[in-house]
Structure 1
Amino acid sequence: MSKNKPYFTKIALKPLYTNLFNIVLLSFLLSFSSGNLYSQDIVKKKKALSSSKQTNNPIIKKTLALDSIALAKKESDTTKIDSVQPKKAFLDGKVKYKAEKYVRIEQKKKLITLYDKAELYYQDIELKAGKIVMDYEKNEVYAGRIRDSTGAFTQYPNFKQGANVIEPDSIRFNFKTKKALIYNSRSEQGEFRIKAAITKKENDSVYFLKGAIFTTSKDVDNPEYYFQTNKVKFIPGKKVVTGLTNMVIANVPTPIALPFAFFPMGKETSVSGLILPSYNDSNQRGFSLQNLGYYFALSDHYDLTVLGDYFTNGSYAMRFELSYAKRYNFRGNVNVRFENLITSERGFPDYSKQSIYNIQWSHSKDSQSSPNSSFSASVNLGSSKYFQRSINVINIGGNLNNTLSSSISYSKNFTSVPEVRMSLTATHSQNTQTEEINMTLPTLQLSVDRVYPFVGKDGIRKGFFKNINLQYNLNGRNSIVTTDSLFFKPQMFRDAKVGFQHSIPLSTNFKLFKYFSASTALNYEEIWTTKTIDRSFDTDQNIVTDKIINGFDAFRTYSFASSLGTTIYGTFNFGKDKKIKSIRHVMRPSVSYGYTPSFERFYDTYATDGSGSMNKQYTRFENGVYGAPGLNNSNNLGFDLSNTFEAKVTDRDSTKLEPKKIMLLNNLNLSTSYDLNADGVNTLAFSPVRVTGGTLLFDNKMNVNFGATLDPYAIDNSGRRINVYNIDNGGSLFRMTSSNLTLNYSLSSKGKDDPKKEKNVQGERNGGRDDDLFGTNTDLGDNRRSLFNEDDETDGEDAISEFFNSKLPWDMTFAYSLTYGNENRENKIIGNSIMISANADITPKWKAGVSTGYDFVQNGVTFTQFRFERDLLSWRMDFNWSPFGNNANWGFFIGIKSGVLSDIKWDKRSVITR
């Protein structure tokens, strides 16, 4: 308050002097002369509420009965009611309404007025507005907005009928005809947001709009872009047909105009339609149209996309992408790609022509549909050079990977006693460098559950005899080894090898001296085959030849194995006042013994020269699917030792009383074997010691794995192992012949693991990794996956404020690999490389990423990719660039995010010619 006294102006109202008596008398006479007098009993009136109390009442709720819409309310007097019958009620259901400020019923005008937060419900219609007026004589309702204390409009109407919602400035609706006039309406249909100056509702399924705009922008009142048209026929949930339509970007009309337009509005089902291509040019293949195609919405469970490319030099490509799904049953997709590539022009020295293809199939079955059976498929096969030479797929992981693999499996459990399990599996493994293909079409596995013949009725298995069990296993395989050029040709199937393996293991386990666990097993095997060989010396050709003998044959083997192991715990205490309180060491040593006798009876001899004086042994079962019987007996002792190290340390959180457990080494394993039949010349007794280990560091964010091979024997000048220990040859106890170290480190600003970060599933299927360490997988047909996460998107000033008040969002993936070789005293680093991938938010709407690395052996930068993306609200823009290498390329894309308008884009990419 101010210290100075304010000045006040006093205003006095001087009353007017009138002839009050004459005025009152005249009013009384006029009123009395125009009235009618009745003699009747007067009902005692209830005390009426003052208008102020009515206004300040809480929310008033009313319900209109359909058969009493005329509001059969008793009058204050007993005047006889007119004998004319009231009109029949027009409504077919109850009308419920309420308002916060007041509800006014005017019977003479047949009006009900609801004011301030008014709501009206009738059948499937819900109407909310600042003011609602219902004329129950004309069967109409009017709704509009009201002004607040500042004079601004508020409480806009919200009209909902079924699943359709409209938010206009005002609305007029007829209950009987179901027609409506809507002014400045706003509604959502699927991904579209629609705003119209005037909307006429013809019936429940047809609307006519005037002065309308369509957009996928979140803010329909201030969109980044929209389609403007004056005449529209709108069928909710199905389609929109318009007259002359013009595209407007940033409130600037563009030259893009159509005489008419059709927009699909399906929510659950997709609509078939044309996929517009992108234009490119190449010095090697000329001008091109890429990704021209058609989308087929076959049904609710299936859809098909057909895409094609064409180059002016004659190159072309076709792609078929089928997706299918049935809830609680199965889901999957099939991709078939074919490319006929022509480089340069016919007659030029660099002219070449090749055809490549790739087939991918992924299928998974819901376990709930059939608990006792399962079916899955993961197929990736085709030309070995597809990912290196494709004009449509840029996948560095697939380019660097040397193997394509596939698996299709079906399994079923038979609930019998004992239980029987059966599975059929088809596998495929393809080396992209040698172009060799190994397939099994199929593999049959059948097993009968273990049977314990010596267990009593109590079911207790304890001791040597009661734990004796036997099992039956059947394994059948049709194995095919072929190449790219013979794939699925008749010769491929003629070279197939078929075999069956029957095995009956008899085993038991028991405790020995309380602290040792012992097991022993006797295994019987019988191998069936359909092809054998007859080896002999061909005197005409002067070479040794193998003749294929088609027909059933079999051999039988048996072996014995046993093992003995225990667990040793050791704890080293350093004191309760120390930071490291104790270290726990767990050792699991084990000794195993295996014996397999010689099966020399399955061996024959053949002459190695024309004289027949030199003979060698062979078995007719060589090159069989399940191998051949052993000629020499095997008599080995095995030694294994596994270790884990765990520590208890003081927790950084002082409120916690218990120490924190941390893992020092997840595993440290040592293994070797000793051959009891070694003669010291052809075979050496000890095999090299293999050491492997791994641990997690930095709060389990870094995965460390290492391994080494230690050989106790020395080598001669030719690099051959000799029966002399390395320590006796002037060296150390062990000679390290190889070692390796790998580090993997992934972290982000959001914590240890970012659950929202999308995995590169398609890149992994192509043969790469599921992260972006080798760059993002770029399929030129799908506009590339976005760096943004839809759940993290925010708009306007709130997004900027939130961003700058928090840490910079980022994530990073780091990998390091080191390999050392010393097999023949080369003593050098064979491999030494580092790979890094990082992504960060430069601003709330800008994201950037990079994938790169360095090879310290080759002294060169590995694959490098730069990624940039701008979130333009309803649009998206990205640019990616690989500056050098065989896969150097760049690509720019800008387009609408919405799937309905995904063809509105500009996509420009460099064409890779390999």
Structure 2
Amino acid sequence: MTKLIDFTTLYVTKSHILFVILTWISIGFLKAQETPAKTPLRIDAVKDTTKQKDKITATVVLDTIVKDSLSKDSTAAKKGKSSLLDKIRYKAIDYAKISQKRKEILLYNEAEVYYEDTELKAGIIILNYEKKEVYAGRIKDSAGNYTQAPYFKQGSNIVEPDSIRFNYETKRALIWNSKTEQDGSHVTAEIVKKENDSTYFMYEGRLTTSKNPDDPDYYIRIRNAKFVPKKKIIAGFSNMYIADVPTPIAVPFAYFPLTQERTSGFIFPTFGELNNRGYFLQNGGYYFAVSDYFDLALTGDYYTNGSYGLRADTQYRKRYKFSGNLGLRYENLINSQRGFPDYSRGTIYNIRWSHSQDTKSSPSSQFSASVNLGSSRYYQNSLNQFNSPNQLNNTLQSSISYTKTFTSYPSVRIGVTASHQQNTRTESINMTLPTLTANMDRIYPFVKRNSSRKGIIDNINFQYSMRAENSITTTDSLFFKKEMFENARTGVRHDIPISTSFKLLKYFNLGMSTSINEVWQLSTIRINDYDPSLRKSTIDTIKGFDRFTTYDFNASIGTTIYGMFNFGTDKKIQAIRHTITPIIGYGYNPSFDQYFDSYVANEFGAVRQYTRFQGGLFGTPRQGFSNTMSISLINKLEAKVRDRDSTKTEAKKITLLNNLNFNTSYDFNTNRISPIIMTGSTNLFQNKMGINFGATFNPYAIDDAGTQLDVLNINNGGGLARLTNANLTMNYSFSSKNFKGKDNTNNVATGGRPDDLFGTAQDFSDSRTMGNTEEGDDTEEAPTEYYRTSIPWDLRVAYSLSYSNIRRESEISNNSLMFSGNIDITPKWKVGASSGYDFKNQGFTYTQLRFERDLDSWRLNFNWVPFSANSSWYFFIGIKSSMLSDLKWDKRKVSDRSLN
């Protein structure tokens, strides 16, 4: 809220202060028109010698004062009664003296006056009820120092000057050496003149956002200004002072929008130079505060060689309903100059949309969107510094979905989804436009609803699900063109799984299931016999509805075995429990030969079989029956350890191994064993480090050429199985704050990773991307007497290792380490780095160094990518307060990128 009479200080939630040079107004003229003559405050204060020494507070109300019997001035009494009685309340500690001759009330020491919505407190107050004026000032203490400065409040506006003169009827006021503060902004002025509720004049004012307004590190000196509360400030000659030293940063005329609501305004661009493209202006434009529900920012870039970029960003939100943001990017990139051999021109674009719905708004239906699509080379070729950390992204993904649930029994859930996946390296795009799904809840037909189920019959249940999909595979060059729809595939799949389960011999769980599947297609194929003239077999596409039905049968039996190893309650590790879950499964899939035909494949008369459903979206019918047995072994290790807290009597349970799984199968038709697949995971250091590992073992031998033989490896002089590949990934995230890592959500908003392993994506010159950068929002740890004993820091590490030995190559196919961290080396200095090392290729991955300096009211940032094709740097210094965020200077050098 405002704290200066009716001043609304220079702050807007999303403002970008606009210093527009309009005209030169004579300072002398402004003084003559807006500066009142400085009138000395004449106060004759006579101390009441009859006051009691204990200074008991006496509240004096006018209608209780005993009137002078020698004075019969009925006119004065009438005026006093009409103007003060029942309206003004006042009190003071030392005394409240009434002078009928001067028509004044003198209040001394902690004096207070209350009138309507006005509150005045000061060391001394003189109230003239004839002129309807109030004078307030300071008093001296026993040491001769001035104390009890006036405190003036009108409505929600507060000012604390040295002295004040106020007419409580006309609401006019003169204020000397006023001070006010609003949301981190401090305004002081030698003289303030209040004409009415909508007009104020200020002489010799200072504006700063420093935390120390009495001795600010910087301020803007305003000679003369006119205030329109809650709307604007129009100032004369103004310039910036840093450490009380005037700077060349000055304007003859300044305009400050004055509102606590979001306001529209210009976004000042940043300046720089780029090789082969000349000088540039980046991220300049206009911000539209359309309403309380959404806004719009239109920004752009321009380069003197003709390149340009356009962007539109909007955020919207409706409480308890939905929220989201939308961003559109387009860049026209020109390399070199027309007529030169290296001249090229290209366009890139990007669309980002995020939408989420409040679950309370509609529990039975949900709509969500997460879109990131565009040119495959957008992040790599974009000239804007803001996109640099996203250059390593290899995929763009999007999903838009709507689901509706019908809660009647059985409940049915229907969903419509459009998805998109794009590989930025191969420039291939896979889309589903759209996918329709319908799922019916599980039904138990042989038991009443909500009744207990026992035995094989009661547990029989079935479901129904349907998936209809239109799939498109295209390339970046054909995206959004009619050619992308030519090879679209459409299909519908229906599934009805039927299953039951029951206990067998008390300790075993037996489950049986069958599934009926039907696939619909809108086109099939026919392969013609070999044509000697064409020297090949031709394929015809037959339009029209067709379908095929398949079914299968599966059964499984499993149990759970527990093993306990006790070491004693006096040990640190008291016990280890090993949980083993073996599962044996059986699957039978019949052959559906009725869906297969044959054709002559070559001139030698070779006959081959095919199905007309080849190329379908949901696969083809199975030819040849399958008769397999699968074996799975699931392991889990837990431990009981003595708690470090000696007051706790029970042991602490921890997980040593989340899972260690082995899977394989045996085909009775071919008498072959499938590869053994091992997977596992665990967490260490209080779940701060996640470890995932896996391996594949082939039980069959290979010859010298690497071809697999139909001979078991153990029968060929080898071991039980060959290790063909293995992988290991580790992620570690911790910090000085209870080993908690932190995410950089800014990267998600810009299409990057949720962490900052690829660096951060921030435009420091745009306060809209910086979150809350207001002063006073200090979340760092409180330093100790020696700051080095409590240095805030955070670190994220990711390690990946892959091994391949399919044909005895025995090589490390991938071995890389990535890390990102930040450290506050002092309360004002923060440094960070994101990098990695590829041990296989022996080189560093994308590296970014970050430096940040807190200059109290200012912020200094320097981001540097020291090497690679994306080398660049970015320097910024500016005021932290969003109110003056356009008082900044930044410099950047971005890498030159050739257009493909």
**TM above 0.5:** yes
Equivalent residues in 2 for 1:433-448 (5 A)?
A: 433-448=425-440
1:640 Cα shift? 1.9
CA distance in 1, matches of 2:812, 2:848: 27
**Does the 8 Å contact 1:574/1:581 carry over to 2?**
yes
Q: Which residue is equivalent to 1:176?
A: 169
Q: Which residue is equivalent to 1:908?
A: 891
Are 2:571 and 1:587 aligned?
Answer: no
The code of the aligned residue for 2:304 comes to T
CA distance in 1, matches of 2:85, 2:661: 81
Equivalent residues in 2 for 1:493-504 (5 A)?
A: 493-504=485-496
Counterpart of 1:89 in 2: which secondary structure? helix
Judging changes above 3 Å, is the alpha-carbon distance between structure 1 residues 79 and 205 closer, same or farther for their aligned structure 2 residues?
A: closer
Counterpart of 1:464 in 2: which secondary structure? helix
1:780 Cα shift? 7.8
**Residues 456-476 of structure 1: CA distance to partner in whole angstroms, max 9, x if unpaired?**
367222322222222221211
The code of the aligned residue for 1:727 comes to I
The code of the aligned residue for 2:711 comes to V
Counterpart of 2:622 in 1: which secondary structure? coil
CA distance in 1, matches of 2:720, 2:774: 56
Judging changes above 3 Å, is the alpha-carbon distance between structure 1 residues 372 and 91 closer, same or farther for their aligned structure 2 residues?
A: farther
Are 2:745 and 1:738 aligned?
Answer: no
Judging changes above 3 Å, is the alpha-carbon distance between structure 1 residues 82 and 734 closer, same or farther for their aligned structure 2 residues?
A: same
Judging changes above 3 Å, is the alpha-carbon distance between structure 1 residues 889 and 422 closer, same or farther for their aligned structure 2 residues?
A: same
Judging changes above 3 Å, is the alpha-carbon distance between structure 1 residues 543 and 870 closer, same or farther for their aligned structure 2 residues?
A: same
CA distance in 2, matches of 1:894, 1:374: 44
Q: Which residue is equivalent to 2:714?
A: 727
Are 2:629 and 1:637 aligned?
Answer: yes
CA distance in 1, matches of 2:459, 2:86: 76
1:266 Cα shift? 2.0
Judging changes above 3 Å, is the alpha-carbon distance between structure 1 residues 229 and 792 closer, same or farther for their aligned structure 2 residues?
A: closer
Q: Which residue is equivalent to 1:562?
A: 555
1:437 Cα shift? 0.4
Equivalent residues in 2 for 1:379-528 (5 A)?
A: 379-393=371-385, 398-456=390-448, 459-528=451-520
* Mean Cα deviation higher: 185-194 or 365-374: 185-194
Are 2:118 and 1:125 aligned?
Answer: yes
Q: Which residue is equivalent to 1:6?
A: none
**Residues 464-516 of structure 1: CA distance to partner in whole angstroms, max 9, x if unpaired?**
22222222212111111111011011111232222222222222222222222
CA distance in 2, matches of 1:643, 1:134: 87
**Does the 8 Å contact 1:396/1:768 carry over to 2?**
no
Task: Find the partner of 1:711 among 685, 698, 704.
Answer: 698
Percent identical residues: 54
CA distance in 2, matches of 1:106, 1:634: 113
Are 2:755 and 1:771 aligned?
Answer: yes
Judging changes above 3 Å, is the alpha-carbon distance between structure 1 residues 621 and 112 closer, same or farther for their aligned structure 2 residues?
A: farther
Judging changes above 3 Å, is the alpha-carbon distance between structure 1 residues 492 and 886 closer, same or farther for their aligned structure 2 residues?
A: same
**Does the 8 Å contact 1:691/1:709 carry over to 2?**
yes
The code of the aligned residue for 1:793 comes to D
Q: Which residue is equivalent to 1:859?
A: 842
Judging changes above 3 Å, is the alpha-carbon distance between structure 1 residues 267 and 712 closer, same or farther for their aligned structure 2 residues?
A: same
User: Greater RCO between the two (CA within 8 Å, min separation 6)?
Assistant: 2
The code of the aligned residue for 2:527 comes to R
Judging changes above 3 Å, is the alpha-carbon distance between structure 1 residues 273 and 485 closer, same or farther for their aligned structure 2 residues?
A: same
CA distance in 1, matches of 2:410, 2:740: 44
* Mean Cα deviation higher: 344-353 or 255-264: 344-353
Judging changes above 3 Å, is the alpha-carbon distance between structure 1 residues 782 and 595 closer, same or farther for their aligned structure 2 residues?
A: farther
1:870 Cα shift? 0.9
The code of the aligned residue for 2:727 comes to N
Judging changes above 3 Å, is the alpha-carbon distance between structure 1 residues 85 and 242 closer, same or farther for their aligned structure 2 residues?
A: closer
Q: What runs of 5+ residues in structure 2 fail to find an aligned partner?
A: 1-47
1:779 Cα shift? 4.8
* Mean Cα deviation higher: 196-205 or 435-444: 196-205
1:816 Cα shift? 1.9
Judging changes above 3 Å, is the alpha-carbon distance between structure 1 residues 271 and 707 closer, same or farther for their aligned structure 2 residues?
A: same
1:849 Cα shift? 1.4
1:422 Cα shift? 1.4
Equivalent residues in 2 for 1:367-386 (5 A)?
A: 367-386=359-378
The code of the aligned residue for 2:778 comes to E
Q: Which residue is equivalent to 2:226?
A: 233
CA distance in 1, matches of 2:520, 2:441: 23
**Does the 8 Å contact 1:697/1:703 carry over to 2?**
yes
1:764 Cα shift? 3.6
Q: Which residue is equivalent to 2:608?
A: 616
Judging changes above 3 Å, is the alpha-carbon distance between structure 1 residues 221 and 93 closer, same or farther for their aligned structure 2 residues?
A: farther
**Residues 862-888 of structure 1: CA distance to partner in whole angstroms, max 9, x if unpaired?**
222221111112211111211111111
1:731 Cα shift? 1.4
1:722 Cα shift? 2.3
Judging changes above 3 Å, is the alpha-carbon distance between structure 1 residues 384 and 180 closer, same or farther for their aligned structure 2 residues?
A: same
Judging changes above 3 Å, is the alpha-carbon distance between structure 1 residues 566 and 129 closer, same or farther for their aligned structure 2 residues?
A: farther
Counterpart of 2:391 in 1: which secondary structure? helix
CA distance in 2, matches of 1:231, 1:267: 23
**Does the 8 Å contact 2:275/2:896 carry over to 1?**
no
Equivalent residues in 2 for 1:150-299 (5 A)?
A: 150-189=143-182, 192-268=185-261, 270-299=262-291
Counterpart of 2:809 in 1: which secondary structure? coil
Q: Which residue is equivalent to 1:575?
A: 568
Counterpart of 2:884 in 1: which secondary structure? coil
CA distance in 1, matches of 2:752, 2:265: 33
1:232 Cα shift? 1.1
Counterpart of 2:824 in 1: which secondary structure? strand
1:860 Cα shift? 1.7
**Residues 838-864 of structure 1: CA distance to partner in whole angstroms, max 9, x if unpaired?**
321222111111222222211222222
Q: Which residue is equivalent to 2:341?
A: 349
1:609 Cα shift? 2.4
* Mean Cα deviation higher: 98-107 or 230-239: 98-107
Judging changes above 3 Å, is the alpha-carbon distance between structure 1 residues 510 and 78 closer, same or farther for their aligned structure 2 residues?
A: farther
Matched positions, count:
847
Counterpart of 1:347 in 2: which secondary structure? coil
**Does the 8 Å contact 2:51/2:94 carry over to 1?**
no
Give RMSD over aligned pairs. 2.9
Judging changes above 3 Å, is the alpha-carbon distance between structure 1 residues 219 and 618 closer, same or farther for their aligned structure 2 residues?
A: same
Judging changes above 3 Å, is the alpha-carbon distance between structure 1 residues 552 and 145 closer, same or farther for their aligned structure 2 residues?
A: farther
**Does the 8 Å contact 1:128/1:159 carry over to 2?**
yes
Q: Which residue is equivalent to 2:778?
A: 793
**Residues 745-779 of structure 1: CA distance to partner in whole angstroms, max 9, x if unpaired?**
2222222215xx4x322424555432222222245
**Does the 8 Å contact 1:239/1:264 carry over to 2?**
yes
Counterpart of 2:714 in 1: which secondary structure? helix
**Residues 680-723 of structure 1: CA distance to partner in whole angstroms, max 9, x if unpaired?**
5xxxx222111121222223322222111112111223323322
Q: Which residue is equivalent to 2:40?
A: none
CA distance in 2, matches of 1:329, 1:297: 20
CA distance in 2, matches of 1:148, 1:546: 106
Q: Which residue is equivalent to 1:761?
A: 745
Q: Which residue is equivalent to 1:56?
A: 55
Q: Which residue is equivalent to 1:882?
A: 865
Larger radius of gyration: 1
Judging changes above 3 Å, is the alpha-carbon distance between structure 1 residues 457 and 220 closer, same or farther for their aligned structure 2 residues?
A: closer
Judging changes above 3 Å, is the alpha-carbon distance between structure 1 residues 145 and 687 closer, same or farther for their aligned structure 2 residues?
A: farther
Judging changes above 3 Å, is the alpha-carbon distance between structure 1 residues 591 and 788 closer, same or farther for their aligned structure 2 residues?
A: farther
Are 2:538 and 1:553 aligned?
Answer: no
1:826 Cα shift? 0.8
Judging changes above 3 Å, is the alpha-carbon distance between structure 1 residues 183 and 724 closer, same or farther for their aligned structure 2 residues?
A: same
Are 2:707 and 1:693 aligned?
Answer: no
**Does the 8 Å contact 1:363/1:377 carry over to 2?**
yes
1:446 Cα shift? 1.4
Q: Which residue is equivalent to 1:544?
A: 537
Counterpart of 1:465 in 2: which secondary structure? helix
Task: Provide TM-score, normalisation by structure 2.
Answer: 0.88
Q: Which residue is equivalent to 1:807?
A: 790
CA distance in 2, matches of 1:412, 1:98: 68
Q: Which residue is equivalent to 1:14?
A: none
Q: Which residue is equivalent to 2:4?
A: none
Task: Provide TM-score, normalisation by structure 1.
Answer: 0.87
